[in-house]
Structure 1
Amino acid sequence: MNKHEYQTQIKFLADYADTGLLTSYYAMNDEEMIEKEIKKLENIIHKPVEKVRAHFNRIDIPKTYQIYNDMELKKDYSMGYNHKIGFRAGTCLPFKFYDIENETETFLTLHPTIISDVMLKYQYRQKPDKALKIMIEQGEQIKKYGGHFYPVFHNFILSDLKEWQGWNQLYIETVKYFTNA
């Protein structure tokens, strides 16, 4: 987020779409670092940050969620596996984080994720066309039960990086499929 051209792109996206913070890898449970990252993004987008996802789903339950709740973040998208398809919390529905240490329901809503582009490419060793089939199958299963489908995509899937060539179609076709479904 340090380069001016990135800041301009981030601001443009935030003007037209929901945005949130992807915390840095080392921010897990570092309140000062998380707060600094939130403030930096807020200064770029000129509105409060309410959504968060921990880099590489690095969360320490309940500590990370207690920090997010204390910082008045409203939605988290870190409740997912990195290496396998499935629901880390056992549900495809968003739910309020219950702070068991303090015996309180919080204002933080957890939105479970099920699958990611990186997972399909590296753990499942799929090609983009097969990855798309898996993505659609997972989304359809979730839809069948009235759940919420939150796949995770990374920005490099839309890049010109050689190792990701052809993968942009996974993103494009997934969005098309589920916005027209």
Structure 2
Amino acid sequence: MILIYTHKVTPRVRYIFKHIFTRILQVEIDFTGKVEEFVAYNGPKFSYTNVALGKEFFVKSNDLLFQQGIKDVEVHMQEWDGIPCFFSTVEASEIPFDIFAASFYLVSRYEEYLPHIKDQHGRFSAAQSIAYQHGFLEKPLVDIWAYKFLEVLKFKFPDFEHKTRSYQYISTIDVDNAFAYKHKSFVRTLGGFLKDVSQLKIFTIWDRFAVLFNLKKDPFDTFQKAIELKKTYKVRTIFFFLIGDYTTFDTNVSASKAKFKLLIKDMVDYARVGLHPSYYTMNDVSLLKKEKERLEAITNMPIHRSRQHYLRVSLPETYQQLIDLEITEDYSMGYASHVGFRASTCTPFYFYDLDFEIQTPLKIFPFALMDTTLNDYMKLTPKQSLGKIRDLKNEVKRVNGTFITLFHNESLSNYLRWRGWNRVYNSMLKIVREEQ
């Protein structure tokens, strides 16, 4: 155990120390505000305060963890042995920056509470983040800092023993369109056919007919393939089903269709299932509640996992709504336009609500990449995409973190814009399981 002296144990202090020591480093810690207790303790210890008590291991504290509410925070980047960092400290400090305040700034998503311009879908964009602006978006910086800090601690306390966590992988699959052509309403089917005719899409017209008359399998029906790969590579897999009513942005099969309900029930038998709240649920808790109850009625079990459609998250409101509806796991923490680590960590963490200054029961599982980011935004070929996947996996593996990917059932289809991608998911599972 490590004993930490600090002049005030605030909720922010307790939260970020627990994330770094307990979750990332698997190290037990305790706090004290009594100097005499700290001095008398013979085990590994350090002080986190304004001025060192004596010649002990000392980290100079920034004011951020002792404040309340949101203030305009100045971030000036520097380096720690070639690693980007900020919130510099005094010379007496064992490390040149306040790792705890900087980690809290990134993990709490402090910058998303500050004034910013939202993108066309009302989201905080990657380009406005300090991670993107300073070139560390593709690194789990908080985890890297934590392991480097552990090295410094072990140099000071050579006899210190600790456990090491193991690298993990989670595959998540969003089901925005369970089927390309089947089980759609007559109006939607006719509209799709007329659109194909007007655009002279001969092959698509044939495919549509062939699928509707059972001459071919629906191209987006890749669920059996996903389950077989799950079994082959023994990966934890979660399917997130969009079951909202039809809108411009929500175009899945109607949740009232028997075949769609049967598909969801089937997936429950083989994998974990979560809710994919529709586009307009970001600011509409009644709509979110309706969709959660709809999915629970189909699965006959409580739904605790969720990922926002279009990754539409507005902090803290969206997460507060999920908490109110007893969702305990959210998988929306990532960007649509860029791969990498939105919260600069590859360790699942609890959402800290800066409005109420509390750690909430909502656990955030940050994903590192999405298929549509690689294909549509970055315009990478399947081969280039696998190279990027390998790079990100290696970053996570170096810190024994949790590597989470986001694919869609459509991208396993090798159909239309996913032509050439039929083996990417399979190859990715090989990559993520290497040396595991």
TM-score, normalising length: structure 1: 0.94
Task: Give the one of 59, 62, 85 matched to 2:313.
Answer: 59
| Residue number in structure 2 paired with 1:43 | 297
**CA distance in 2: counterparts of 1:136 and 1:21, whole angstroms:** 28
Is structure 2 residue 362 aligned with structure 1 residue 108?
A: yes
Greater mean alpha carbon deviation, residues 155-164 or residues 45-54: 155-164
Instruction: Give runs of aligned pairs for residues 112-127 of structure 1, distance below 5 A.
Output: 112-127=366-381
Task: Give the one of 406, 411, 416 matched to 1:152.
Answer: 406
Task: Give the one of 264, 279, 284 matched to 1:25.
Answer: 279
Once the 2 structures are TM-superposed, how far is the Cα of residue 101 of structure 1 from its aligned partner? 1.1
* CA contact 1:15–1:45 (8 Å) conserved in 2: no
Once the 2 structures are TM-superposed, how far is the Cα of residue 172 of structure 1 from its aligned partner? 1.6
| Residue number in structure 2 paired with 1:173 | 427
* CA contact 1:83–1:119 (8 Å) conserved in 2: yes
Task: Give the one of 142, 147, 150 matched to 2:396.
Answer: 142
Alignment CA distance shift 1:125-1:163 (3 Å): same
Given residue 322 of structure 2, which amino acid in structure 1 is its aligned partner?
Y
Q: Write the deviation string for residues 12-67 of structure 1: whole angstroms up to 9, x where unpaired.
A: 11122111111111111211111111111111111111110001110000000011
**CA distance in 2: counterparts of 1:40 and 1:160, whole angstroms:** 31
Q: Which has the higher contact order (CA 8 A, sep 6+)?
A: 2
| Residue number in structure 1 paired with 2:341 | 87
**CA distance in 1: counterparts of 2:276 and 2:404, whole angstroms:** 15
Equivalenced residue count is 181
* CA contact 2:350–2:363 (8 Å) conserved in 1: yes
Q: Please, which runs of 5 or more residues in structure 2 have no aligned partner?
A: 1-242, 244-254
**CA distance in 2: counterparts of 1:71 and 1:131, whole angstroms:** 37
Alignment CA distance shift 1:40-1:119 (3 Å): same
**CA distance in 2: counterparts of 1:174 and 1:112, whole angstroms:** 18
Given residue 340 of structure 2, which amino acid in structure 1 is its aligned partner?
G
Q: Write the deviation string for residues 77-115 of structure 1: whole angstroms up to 9, x where unpaired.
A: 111011012211111111101112122211100011121
Given residue 69 of structure 1, which amino acid in structure 2 is its aligned partner?
I
Is structure 2 residue 265 aligned with structure 1 residue 11?
A: yes
**CA distance in 2: counterparts of 1:149 and 1:160, whole angstroms:** 24
**CA distance in 2: counterparts of 1:179 and 1:32, whole angstroms:** 41
| Residue number in structure 2 paired with 1:71 | 325
**CA distance in 2: counterparts of 1:27 and 1:146, whole angstroms:** 34
* CA contact 1:23–1:37 (8 Å) conserved in 2: yes
**CA distance in 1: counterparts of 2:258 and 2:429, whole angstroms:** 29
Greater mean alpha carbon deviation, residues 164-173 or residues 34-43: 164-173
* Aligned alpha-carbon RMSD (Å): 1.4
Given residue 14 of structure 1, which amino acid in structure 2 is its aligned partner?
V
**CA distance in 1: counterparts of 2:394 and 2:414, whole angstroms:** 30
Q: Write the deviation string for residues 106-126 of structure 1: whole angstroms up to 9, x where unpaired.
A: 110001112110000011111
* CA contact 1:74–1:107 (8 Å) conserved in 2: yes
**CA distance in 2: counterparts of 1:18 and 1:125, whole angstroms:** 31
Runs of 4+ aligned structure 1 residues displaced above 6 Å come to none
Identity of aligned residues (%): 38
**CA distance in 2: counterparts of 1:90 and 1:141, whole angstroms:** 12
Once the 2 structures are TM-superposed, how far is the Cα of residue 7 of structure 1 from its aligned partner? 1.3
Once the 2 structures are TM-superposed, how far is the Cα of residue 171 of structure 1 from its aligned partner? 1.3
Q: Which has the higher helix share?
A: 1
Partner-residue secondary structure (3-state), 2:402: coil
| Residue number in structure 1 paired with 2:416 | 162
**CA distance in 1: counterparts of 2:378 and 2:414, whole angstroms:** 22
Partner-residue secondary structure (3-state), 2:356: coil
**CA distance in 1: counterparts of 2:431 and 2:317, whole angstroms:** 37
**CA distance in 2: counterparts of 1:169 and 1:48, whole angstroms:** 34
* CA contact 1:114–1:149 (8 Å) conserved in 2: yes
* CA contact 1:156–1:164 (8 Å) conserved in 2: yes
Q: Write the deviation string for residues 154-174 of structure 1: whole angstroms up to 9, x where unpaired.
A: 121123532212213111221
Given residue 328 of structure 2, which amino acid in structure 1 is its aligned partner?
K
